[in-house]
Chains A and B, each alone.
Chain A
Amino acid sequence: MNPARVVAIAIRALLRNKLRSFLTTLGVVIGVAAVIAMTAIGAGASARVQATFEAMGSNMLVVLSGASQMGGARGGHGSQPTLTWSDLDAIRGLPAVRLAAPQLQRSAQVMGDGQNWNTMIQGTTPELFDIRNWRIARGRFFDEDEERAGSKVAVVGNTVVQNLFGPYEDAVGQVIRIGDVPFEVVGVAAAKGQTGFGQDQDDVVIIPSRTFRAKLQGGLQQFIAGAVVASARSAADAGRAQSQIEELLRQRHRIAPAGQDDFHVRNLSDIAASQQESARTMTSLLAGIALVSLVVGGIGIMNIMLVSVTERTREIGLRMAVGAKPRNILVQFLVEAVALSIAGGILGTAAGLGAASWLAARFGWPMLVQPQFVVAAVAFSAAVGVAFGMWPALQASRLDPIQALRYE
Chain B
Amino acid sequence: MALIELRDVTKVYDTGDVQVRALAGVSLDVEAGESVAVMGASGSGKSTLMNLLGCLDRPTGGTYRLAGEDVGSLDRNRLAEIRNRTLGFVFQSFNLLARTSAVENVELPLLYSGVAPAERRRRARTALARVGLAERAHHHPSQLSGGQQQRVAIARALVVEPRIILADEPTGNLDSRTSADVMSLLQALGDSGITIVLVTHEPDIAAYAGRVLEMKDGLLRSDVRRPAARAAPAAARGEVPPSLASAPEDAPSLASAPEDAP
Query: Is B57 in contact with chain A by the CB < 8 A criterion?
Result: yes
**Interchain CA distance A54-B114 in the complex, whole Å:** 65
Determine the residue in chain B with the shortest Cβ distance to A322. Answer: B109
Question: With A1-B112, A1-B114 known to touch, is A322 a contact of B99 (CB < 8 Å)?
Answer: no
B112 and A322 contacting across the interface, CB-CB below 8 Å: yes
* Max chain B C-beta neighbours (<10 A), residue from A9, A323, A326, A405: A323
A314 and B95 contacting across the interface, CB-CB below 8 Å: yes
Selected contact of B91 from candidates A9, A319, A324, A405, CB within 8 Å = A405
A402 and B51 contacting across the interface, CB-CB below 8 Å: yes
Question: With A5-B117, A402-B51, A402-B56 known to touch, is A324 a contact of B97 (CB < 8 Å)?
Answer: no
Question: With A1-B114, A322-B89, A322-B156 known to touch, is A405 a contact of B57 (CB < 8 Å)?
Answer: no
For chain B, residues 108 to 165, give those with C-beta under 8 angstroms from any C-beta of chain A.
Answer: 108-109, 111-114, 117, 156, 160
Selected contact of B56 from candidates A5, A315, A326, A401, CB within 8 Å = A401
Query: Is B259 in contact with chain A by the CB < 8 A criterion?
Result: no
B97 and A318 contacting across the interface, CB-CB below 8 Å: yes
Query: Is A16 in contact with chain B by the CB < 8 A criterion?
Result: yes
A325 and B77 contacting across the interface, CB-CB below 8 Å: yes
For chain A, residues 1 to 41, give those with C-beta under 8 angstroms from any C-beta of chain B.
Answer: 1, 5, 9, 16
Query: Is A320 in contact with chain B by the CB < 8 A criterion?
Result: yes
Question: With A1-B114, A402-B51, A402-B57 known to touch, is A323 a contact of B95 (CB < 8 Å)?
Answer: no
B76 and A322 contacting across the interface, CB-CB below 8 Å: no
Question: With A320-B80, A325-B76, A402-B56 known to touch, is A1 a contact of B111 (CB < 8 Å)?
Answer: yes
How many Å from the CB of A313 to the closest CB on chain B?
A: 11
**Interchain CA distance A323-B159 in the complex, whole Å:** 13
Determine the residue in chain A with the shortest Cβ distance to B112. Answer: A323
B76 and A326 contacting across the interface, CB-CB below 8 Å: yes
**Interchain CA distance A5-B121 in the complex, whole Å:** 14
**Interchain CA distance A327-B75 in the complex, whole Å:** 13
Query: Is B85 in contact with chain A by the CB < 8 A criterion?
Result: yes
Query: Is B250 in contact with chain A by the CB < 8 A criterion?
Result: no
Query: Is A321 in contact with chain B by the CB < 8 A criterion?
Result: yes
Determine the residue in chain B with the shortest Cβ distance to A12. Answer: B100
**Interchain CA distance A9-B120 in the complex, whole Å:** 15
How many Å from the CB of B165 to the closest CB on chain A?
A: 12
Determine the residue in chain A with the shortest Cβ distance to B116. Answer: A2
A325 and B95 contacting across the interface, CB-CB below 8 Å: no
Question: With A321-B54, A402-B56 known to touch, is A326 a contact of B77 (CB < 8 Å)?
Answer: yes
Query: Is A328 in contact with chain B by the CB < 8 A criterion?
Result: yes
Query: Is B83 in contact with chain A by the CB < 8 A criterion?
Result: yes
* Max chain A C-beta neighbours (<10 A), residue from B76, B114, B156: B76
A323 and B83 contacting across the interface, CB-CB below 8 Å: yes
A323 and B85 contacting across the interface, CB-CB below 8 Å: yes
Query: Is B223 in contact with chain A by the CB < 8 A criterion?
Result: no
Query: Is B187 in contact with chain A by the CB < 8 A criterion?
Result: no
B109 and A323 contacting across the interface, CB-CB below 8 Å: yes
Determine the residue in chain B with the shortest Cβ distance to A324. Answer: B112
Query: Is B84 in contact with chain A by the CB < 8 A criterion?
Result: yes
In the bound complex, residues from chain A placing their C-beta under 8 Å from that of B156 are 322
In the bound complex, residues from chain A placing their C-beta under 8 Å from that of B111 are 1, 5, 9, 324
In the bound complex, residues from chain A placing their C-beta under 8 Å from that of B114 are 1
Question: With A401-B56, A402-B51 known to touch, is A319 a contact of B108 (CB < 8 Å)?
Answer: yes
In the bound complex, residues from chain B placing their C-beta under 8 Å from that of A9 are 111
In the bound complex, residues from chain B placing their C-beta under 8 Å from that of A405 are 56, 91, 95
In the bound complex, residues from chain A placing their C-beta under 8 Å from that of B109 are 322-323
What is the 8 Å Cβ interface bit string for chain A, positions 389-403, against chain B (1 contact, 0 not)? 000000000000110
Question: With A1-B114, A5-B117 known to touch, is A322 a contact of B83 (CB < 8 Å)?
Answer: yes
**Interchain CA distance A5-B91 in the complex, whole Å:** 27
In the bound complex, residues from chain A placing their C-beta under 8 Å from that of B84 are 322-323
In the bound complex, residues from chain B placing their C-beta under 8 Å from that of A323 are 80-81, 83-85, 109, 112-113, 160
Determine the residue in chain A with the shortest Cβ distance to B91. Answer: A405
In the bound complex, residues from chain A placing their C-beta under 8 Å from that of B95 are 314, 317-318, 321, 405
In the bound complex, residues from chain A placing their C-beta under 8 Å from that of B76 are 325-326
For chain B, residues 29 to 71, give those with C-beta under 8 angstroms from any C-beta of chain A.
Answer: 51, 54, 56-57
In the bound complex, residues from chain B placing their C-beta under 8 Å from that of A325 are 76-77, 80-81, 112
* Max chain A C-beta neighbours (<10 A), residue from B77, B97, B111, B160: B111
Determine the residue in chain B with the shortest Cβ distance to A5. Answer: B117
Sampled A-B contacts (17; CB under 8 Å): A317-B95, A318-B97, A320-B56, A320-B80, A321-B54, A321-B95, A322-B83, A322-B84, A322-B109, A322-B112, A323-B80, A324-B111, A325-B76, A326-B77, A328-B112, A401-B56, A402-B57
Report which A residues bind B (CB closer than 8 A): 1, 5, 9, 16, 314-315, 317-328, 401-402, 405
Contacts A318-B108, A322-B112 known; list 19 others, CB within 8 Å. A319-B108, A319-B112, A320-B56, A320-B83, A321-B54, A321-B83, A322-B83, A322-B89, A322-B160, A323-B84, A323-B85, A323-B112, A323-B160, A324-B80, A324-B112, A402-B57, A405-B56, A405-B91, A405-B95
